Structures are given as C-alpha cells and as structure tokens.
Amino acid sequence: KCNLDEQKKLLSKTLKIKSCDGKNIGTYSTASLLALSIIDLCETFYCHLGVNVPDHAMTFRSLCNLLQDSVTPFVVSVHAKECAAVKLLIQKVLEQLMGRGVSVDEEQEDDTALLQRTQCTISALCQWYKTVTKKCTQVFPQRTESLTNSDLPQSLPVVVIFKDFEAFNSQVLQDFILICSRYTQELPFIFIFGIATSPSAIQHRLPHSVSSLLCIEVFHSLSCTQHLASVFDKLILNSQFPFKLSSRVIQVLVGIFLYHDFSVQNFVKGLQFSMLEHFKSQPLSMLCCQKQEALLSAKTLSKKNVERIRHLPSFMRYVETQEPQEQVQLLTNDEHVKEVCQQLLKNLHKYHKNYYPILQCLHSLTSSLPKFPLGKHIRELHVSCIEKNLWETEEYDSALQLLRILAKDELVAALRKCAEILKSTKILQNVLQQLEDFIGRLEALEEDSSGNGIISGKMEYQRTDLFQLQKTLLEKESRRTKRMNPFEVLRSQVIEFIDSLVREYLTPAELQPLNEVCYYNSSGVLRQRLNVTPRTSIQAALSHPFYYLQNESLKTDAGTISSAAPDLCIVYKLHLECGRLINLYDWLEAFLTVMSAAEDQDTNSEECGKYDSLKHARFIQAVSEMEFLGFIKSTKQKTDHVARLTWGGC
C-alpha cells in the first residue's frame, strides 16, 4: 500500500527532472526560430545526448509534448527502425502529421480520405499544410493573433525529430534532406537530431553538399551523472521518504549505473525494485512509514512481530548496552518492548532529520578541497557515512587537516554556505546559532587584523600556495615555537566544532537501533536480480540440476554424472569433456553408458551395449535442445560431427 504511493512519487519526481531538462531545449528552439539566414535552408538542432538509451525515449516524449504545447502542433518523431527507405520515412512523416492535423472532428474524416487519395510526397504535404494553416487561421483566430504578436505569424514550422540519428541509413537521411530543401519556401522544416555520441557524427554521416543545406545548432543535454545527482538529492538524501538504502545497496545501484548503462531510468527502476523487495521480505517494514503512522503501528504490534524485533541484530545490540534489570524487562515484557520501540522509532526519525543537513554541510565544506579527500559527489560521502564511523577514517583526517589551513575568506564563505543549508531546513537552530556566531567573530577579526600589516601579508601568502603552507605549518606545529594568532585560534575552534557536529550527527546508520525497519540491505539479491548473468545461470542449471529442481536424488558430487539427472544435463556434462568438434556416435555411446549405469547391476552385459530406439530418441532430443540453447551447431567440416560454440575445449 505504502510503496505504491511512493512509486508514484518517484515517477513524478523523475518526470519533473526530465521535463525541466526538456524545457531548456524547448525555450532554446523557440528563441532561434526567429533566425533565418540566406542559404541555410532547413534549421536543424542536434540534441547531444548521452548514451543512456533507455532515457532518451522519456526525454523525447517530454520534448515532443513541450513543442506541441508551446511552438507548433506539427511535431513528428521518427525512429530509425521504421525508416529503412526514403519512401517509408516520408510516409511515416505524412501519416503522423495528417493523421493528427487539426483536432476538430469534422475535418478528421476528409483528412483520412485525403491521405488515401494523394500520393506520399512532400508536395502533397505542402498542399495539406496550406489548407490546414488556412483552417487554423479560421478556426483559431485568437490563437494566431497571439502568435502574430510574439512570433512569426504564418509559419508554424513542421518539426521532425530523428530520435536516433546514428542508426539512420545515411542515404535515406541525405535524400530526405535534399527533398525537404526543395520545399522550404512553402513549408518551414525544423529537424531535431538526437545524437548520442558527438556532434561530429554529422560530418561522418552526411556529405558536405547535404550538410551545407542545414543551419545547425547544438544543444547539450545534462550529463547523466548530473541527472543521477539530482535524483539522489530528491529521493535518497531526503528525510521525507522513510525508505532508505544501505551503503552496499547504493554501491550496487551506482555501480550498475556507472559501469554498465548510464541510465537514470534504470537506476530509478532499481530503486523501485529494492523498495518492493524490502516491503516483501521484511515483515517489520510495516513500521517504515511516516512518523505518526509508524508510532501508531508500533503501539499495536502483534506478538510475532515483537518477537521479530527482539531478534533484530541492532535491537540485540541495544539491549546489551542497557542495565541488567532493563534487559530482563526488554526480553520478557511485550508492552515494554512496544514502548521502547516507539521511543527508538522517534530517535530514528530525529536522526534522519539531523543527518541530511549536516551531511550537506560537511559536503559543502569538503567538496572544494584539493584532491577531494571525502569524495567529489555527495553520494560518496553519504555511503562512507552510513557504512562506518567517518571520523575514524584516514580520509576524514586529511580533510580536517586541509580545513585547518583554509584562508579566512574561504573559511567564511564555506561557513556561510553551511548556514544557508541549515537555514533552509529550519531544524538544528542551536547549531545554526553557533555557526553564525563563528562567522560574526571571524568577520570582526578581519576588521581588527586589517590594521595589522604583518598578518594580512601572511594571509595573502596562505592563499597562494596551500601545499607549501601545509608543510611549513606542520613544521611549526612540531616545533611549537610560534604563538598562534587570534585567527588561527578561532579557526581551530571552528574545526573542532565541525568535528563535534560530525561525531554527533553523522553516526553510521547501521548502528542505529531498529535501522533494519527502514534500511534495505540485501545487496546480493539486488545484484542477482538486476545484473543478470544468463549464461552462468544456464550453466548452473545444466551442471547442477539440484540447484533449480530441488530434488534430493539429483544431489551429486562434483565430478560425477548421475543417471537420474535430466537427459539434457547428462548430454551437457558429456560434451564438456570434448574438444571443438564432437563425434556424435561417441557422444551417444557415452550417453548410453551413463544411462545404463543404474541398471547395470540387474541386467546382463549383452543388453548393455545395445541401444534401444527409446534411448536413441532421447539422446537426439537432448542434442537438439543443446543446439537450441546455442552450445553446439552442425558443421560441414566432418561428417557425423557437431561443432562446439563455447569455450573450454581441450
């Protein structure tokens, strides 16, 4: 119940992100509609997209809707698969345009009749366009008026979107552009090419005689890592959603994203899947909802669920820290457990509320440091925070080390950013107070020190070379000869304050009691489901039939072949022992030997060597199944032999 809502939210969120990306493109195109140069015939836009192919459909859909709403009703989007020839491409364009046309009912009929009568040419489209634009001015006078005010009046352009430019046959594209260029006087065309690689693809695909007919502008969509960052901000680094991911799961999802597909949509799908899996596999996930609901359902926990809570590792850890008397209470009294549970849930919610602002503060402080000791992206910081005690890591030490040598203006700017983050969240007011206090004191210091020539000169030196400074400072610290000036004293106070914040609020989530309620942490399952390995699972099924069939009689030792296994498995195991070419007769012999191994004891040896037609048929069927699975294929190199298609031949 709960997760469905959240899925909807997720989708709408991602849609929002996508559409704002689309909006940029849309506004650009409306702006540049006005520009027409002398010989540039067709205006063209390249949308340079990443290679995240599944995301493109969504982007183009929103772009399409946007164009239809704001620029022109004549938008066509074509796919390379549908357009193998110019004829088909033109047909597709005409179908989409004329089928749509003006959305008034009585025109619909003669539009379809028109399509049947006329031939599929652009000149037919031209005729149609003239009549439609005339109709448009008659039907929607107010609309065209509004257009005359803002834009070119009569030329509602025809937009053709080529979704996957690379996949188009270049000859088809060339011809289409040449044909369209003949009609640009009557029919204003705008092409939008979706290019996944680089803009220079256009030079590779189109000869200069054709590309010189185009007036090209390039738009870059946001890079997919930026997309990912915004999804992260909105869905994962957000205390509003009670559902959380553990560090391992985040690593798996991000790994799939970075290493395999660059697709934000797949990432969101992975998120949805892990949510489904969490609510399905963890019965205590009923407590994973908004705070009030969670407290209510904690009050009415069933006996079974109370027992489950007692078995949670985090709860057991919590119990161990309590007094002996309290321990007994917790282990025996159900009502007491429920009360404690409510308290713990409250703590968990409070922890989340405080965690994210502080995390953002720490990120904004450390993200400008050289070499990014705590990671470039906030997700890396997040992962290391929820995994272990951040302040015990070397990276954190080096980050603080670097923070300790920040110049004053940098420090003030960074603290200001933190204060803004805290202001926007409206919690942790006392922390904000302290921060602003520090900022005030730092600025007051500036006024004092501005008179002091020596110190200000020193400041400038600090700004120039961090590395040198770090060295000299370390030396000085070791000698302990120089007294610190007031700024340095204050700076170390600030750093200590930040350190204390980190130690207080950024404790790892896996140590929080009852974290299992909110955190989904079975990364193994997720990896198995999302990053599938069809080949290994087929091999596992064939070599260990017990794994899937769960039949006790199929359990075997590693090297042996059981005759109880399905024929296909026997044939598969036998073929593993062969080289690149397999003699069918030898194979059959081996198969029969295995088959008769079970009956060997009771039957006499004469029958053993002979094969009956049933076994023969079973063998042939198994072999053809092997061929179907792609392990072997027939070959003409040798009679009665088949070729092996997988590795591992001798």
Partner 1 sequence: MSHQKSFQYADLLSVLERVVDIMSAPDQYSYPSVFIYGHRATGKSHVVLSIMKDLELPHASVDCVECVSSGLLFHQVLSAFFGPDAAALLPRCPSLSDFVRLYKQMSSNSPATQTRYIILDRAERMRDMDFSLLPALLRLQELVNDNVTVILLSEIVWEKFRPNTGCFEPLLFHFPDYSKGKSLVQILSWDHHPSYTPELYASYINILLGVFFSVCRDLRELRHLAVLNFSKFCEPLEKGEAKESDIHKLWKNIEPHLQRAMQTVYLREVSSVQWEQQQMDEKEATTLRVLSAHAHIELPYYSKFLLIAAYLASFNPARTDRRFFLKSHGKIRKTNFLKKHEKTSNHLLGPKPFPLDRLMAIFYSVVDSRVAPTASIFSQISSLVTLQLLSQVGHDDQLDSPKYKCSVSLDFILAISRCVCVCVRLLDLLALSLVIQSQVVRQERSLFTAVSNLHLL
The contact set with partner 1 (CB under 8 A) reads 32, 35, 37-40, 43, 50-51, 53, 85-87, 90, 119, 121-123, 164, 166-167, 175, 178-179, 182, 196-204, 209, 211-212, 214-218, 220, 223-224, 256, 258-262, 531-536, 630, 633, 645, 647
Q: Minimum CB separation from partner 1 for residue 345, in Å?
A: 38
283 Cβ partners below 8 Å, 6+ apart? Answer: 305, 308
Nearer to partner 1, 205 or 244 (CB): 205
Q: How far is the CB of 591 from partner 1 (least distance, A)?
A: 23
Angle separating helix axes 466-479 and 394-403, nearest 10 degrees:
100
Q: Please, where are the H alpha helices in 388-425?
A: 394-403, 408-425
The least CB distance from residue 524 to partner 1, in Å, is: 13
Considering beta carbons, is residue 94 or 400 the nearer one to partner 1? 94
Is 118 or 470 the residue whose CB approaches partner 1 more closely?
118
Least distance (Å) from partner 1 to the CB of residue 213? 9
Cβ proximity of 344 and 294 under 8 Å: no
N-term to C-term CA, the chain: 56
Name which of 258 and 331 has its Cβ closer to partner 1: 258
Beta strand pairing call for 42-48 and 214-220 = parallel
- DSSP letters spanning 57-104: HHHHHHHHHHHHHHT-S-EEEE-GGG-SSHHHHHHHHHHHHHHHS---
* Closest approach of partner 1 to the CB of residue 182, in Å: 6
Minimal distance in Å, beta carbon 453 to partner 1? 37
Please identify, using beta-carbon distances, which residue of 29 and 364 lies nearer to partner 1. 29
Cα distances from 397 to residues 384, 391, 614, in angstroms, run 14, 7, 74
Shortest gap between Cβ of 10 and partner 1 (angstroms)?
22
Answer whether 278's CB lies under 8 Å from 243's CB: yes
Q: Give least dist CB 261 to partner 1, A.
A: 6
**Nearer CB in complex with partner 1: 450/533:** 533
Q: Rounded to 10 degrees, what is the CA torsion of 87, 77, 39, 152?
A: 130
Least spacing, CB of residue 513 vs partner 1, in Å? 36
SS3 category, 579: coil
Residue 218: partners with Cβ closer than 8 Å, 6 or more residues away: 45, 46, 48, 199
Nearer to partner 1, 453 or 534 (CB): 534
Shortest distance, position 127 Cβ to partner 1, whole Å: 10
- Among candidates 83, 74, 223, which has minimal Cα distance to 163? 83
d(CA 236, CA 64): 30
Q: How far is the CB of 167 from partner 1 (least distance, A)?
A: 5
Task: Kindly state the smallest distance separating residue 119's Cβ from partner 1, in Å.
Answer: 6
Specify the residue, 121 or 329, whose C-beta has the smaller distance to partner 1: 121
Instruction: CB nearer to partner 1: give 34 or 558.
Output: 34
If 0-12 CB within 10 Å is exposed, 13-18 middle and 19+ buried, where does residue 41 land? buried
Considering the complex, state which of residue 198 and residue 333 has its C-beta at the smaller distance from partner 1: 198
Give the C-alpha separation, 404 to 410, whole Å.
11
DSSP letter string, 148-162 = HHHS-SS--PEEEEE
Q: How far is it, in rounded angstroms, from Cα 264 to Cα 270?
A: 10
Rank residues 259 and 467 by Cβ distance to partner 1 and give the closer one: 259
Instruction: Spell out the residues 6+ positions from residue 513 whose beta carbon is closer than 8 angstroms to its own.
Output: 314, 315, 317, 318, 344, 347, 348
With beta carbons less than 8 A apart as the criterion, state whether 520 and 246 touch.
Answer: yes
Q: Which is nearer to partner 1, 38 or 614 (CB)?
A: 38
